[in-house]
Chain A
Amino acid sequence: MEIRLNNLTKIFQSKKQEETIAVNQLDVTIPSGKLIGLLGPSGCGKSTTLYMISGLLKPTEGSIFFGDDDVTTVPPEERGIGLVFQNYALYPHMTVRQNILFPLENLKVPKAEALQQAQDIANLVGIGELMDRKPAQLSGGQQQRVAIARALVKKPRVLLLDEPLSNLDARLRLQTREEIKRIQRETGITTLFVTHDQEEAMSISDEIVVMKDGLMQQKGSPQGVYDDPINEFTARFLGTPPINMFDGEIKGGKIHLNGASIGESDLEDRKVRIGIRPEGFKVLKTGSLRVEVEFVETIGRDTTLIIKNPVEEGKTFRAIVEADQKIQPGKGISLSVKPHKMFLFDAATGERI
């Protein structure tokens, strides 16, 4: 089921009549059968968007389409969505089986059939043996699977997940995100999930939608957005370690960073912000950027150099280089920059140029 958001806006009004624009004229089309990550820092309106799609929040303006159906005014109980809450909202007094059966009982599915469906979906998410436990007797990861099973059992048109991994510890998070991907593939349900963790979004999404301050910044495949950020915000938000930003300028067709020419540009002379991914540096004797290494972090696969920022006193930046290059801390080195890992932004607006 394709989800289309047209000009979707949500304004919250406080008691003192102060208005907060949580979501600002959002226009997004979410393709059918895909896993989409809604990504942004906290307070960017991503959860609000999710709850508007669920129907639990009413949009101030704009409309929501499921396929060709305008569901803007349809109450949540009639939208046919599955929703997994951030803290799962499992009914604590019911067993896992009763929790999963609950939506089916509402739909008046015959008992035997409902039991079978509940067992099938529990097996799919890998909690088939825990049906008689209460939520309090389950681990966080298991609770989350129950929540997903409860959302999936009624075969929703759309599955919505609110920060599905935020309550899990780091190891479980890795495992569960693969699990979510697998479940989504097996069921083929259009799935939208909200997260502030860019790594999480990038690792499992077919597409990501980056939001900031209620506005959509960019939408595309995770790699596409990473490789071609539309502005400084998305460039900074995606990637760990984050992108390195420098003040630089363009002079005579060359990109200058602290006097060194690190690349070419056909733009006219101006001040720019230069963004270089940590993996965008190469240690080369002929490199034009002379810098001093402060620390060396070796993680086996590759080496992270923490280097004194040549432009800003007291700051450092990171470069990830191959592990076989022997580099000593405190030494000066020469770097060259891979052109496709370097982005130029307008110094004032932050837009990509």
Chain B
Amino acid sequence: MLEDKHNIKAWFYLAPAMVLLIIFTFYPIFNAFFLAFLRDFNYLQGTWEGFTFFENFGFVFRNPNFRDALTNTLIITFVSVPIAVIIALLVSVWLNSIVKFRGVFQTIFFLPYVTNAIAIGMAFAFLFNRNFGLVNTMLGWIGFSPINWVGLRATWGMAMIAFLVFTTWSSLAFRIMVFLSGLQNIDKQYYDAARVDSTRRYRIFRRITVPLLSPMIFYITITSFIGSFKTYTEVIGMFGERLGPPGNDRAMITMVALVYDALDRSGVTGALSEAAAAAIVLFGITLFFTLVNMQVSKKRVHY
């Protein structure tokens, strides 16, 4: 009896959040799956010709940009995420060990987090400018001739390198913050014990810091993978709506960009279903790698 009463109350408390979640999250998810299996759905007239299992996915896989989008997304994820996680880990360990100017450095490293991705992208596009970008200027000091990173008809490879530097850097802030708070929760006595036992610094890092921080590392890795599979804003920020260097349009297309491409054509019969199917493909990829991640880290994460 008593519990029933509590139950009703609990649902009331949950209601505001629940209503919003149902309208803006659960319904769209359900709808995306629904749309992906409609044949010849016309968005403007709201009509469709029954259901199909594979047709819309066929459109996605046959899209001329699909392979580029998939390759780019996978490269961005598998290069930038591990590098960014490792750099964030090292920076946060360093930040945690200094006393002087720690607040200043923390602020500096955290700034990208509160800055708009588009603005950072534009700043990086300028840094990588062929003629007056800081990167080429600095490379010039050590004898390199200017490289066309993101300029007219820049190659896919150069554009990708510039983009990876940018995404890696801009994603550091949040990771450093999470790692720092994790580090501050590690009992100092473990380090005292390790010192008394004459443990070298690298060994302390590898045998004590990393295992004790492993839940955070795991969390960051999973969320970074998921976030990275959804890369889109950063591409717009650096390359604009061309999704690539001028003259090499769509070279930097990603999976999410593919979804938006299809949405752009939503007046065309079947295009909205194709967008939904592309989103589900992306969901499948994300789910797969998340499960792999969880499996791999099972033995390495110490709670």
Contacts and interface: CB of A to CB of B under 8 A. Distances in A.
Contact of B196 (A76, A93, A94, A107): A76
Given A89-B190, A91-B190, A102-B207, A78 B196 contact: no
Given A92-B302, A106-B200, A77 B195 contact: yes
A76 B195 CA distance: 6
A87 interface: yes
B153 interface: no
B20 interface: no
A103 B196 CA distance: 9
8 contacts: A55-B196, A81-B196, A82-B196, A83-B196, A89-B190, A93-B212, A102-B194, A102-B199
A56 B197 contact: no
Given A89-B192, A89-B193, A91-B208, A78 B302 contact: no
A130 B70 CA distance: 51
Interface of B: 187, 189-190, 192-200, 203, 207-208, 211-212, 214, 302
Given A85-B189, A106-B203, A154 B197 contact: yes
A54 interface: yes
A113 to B, nearest CB: 17
A89 B189 contact: yes
A85 B187 CA distance: 12
Given A56-B192, A89-B189, 9 more contacts: A54-B196, A85-B189, A85-B192, A87-B189, A92-B212, A94-B207, A106-B198, A106-B199, A154-B197
Contacts of B199: 77, 102, 106
Nearest to B198: A77
B189 A106 contact: no
A240 to B, nearest CB: 31
B203 A83 contact: no
A57 to B, nearest CB: 10
A91 B212 CA distance: 9
A106 B198 CA distance: 6
Contacts of B187: 89
Contacts of B203: 105-106
Contacts of B193: 83, 85, 89, 91, 150
B30 to A, nearest CB: 42
**Top 8 A-B pairs, shortest CB-CB distance:** A93-B302, A89-B189, A77-B198, A103-B197, A93-B211, A89-B193, A83-B196, A106-B198
Nearest to B191: A89
Contacts of B302: 92-93
Contact of A77 (B196, B211, B212): B196
Interface in A269-308: none
A257 B189 CA distance: 52
B216 to A, nearest CB: 14
- Looking at B187, B197, B208, B211, the one whose CB has the most chain A CB atoms below 10 A away is B197
Contacts of B196: 54-56, 76-77, 79, 81-83
Contacts of B198: 77-78, 103, 106-107
Contacts of A87: 189
A64 B177 CA distance: 41
B190 A56 contact: no
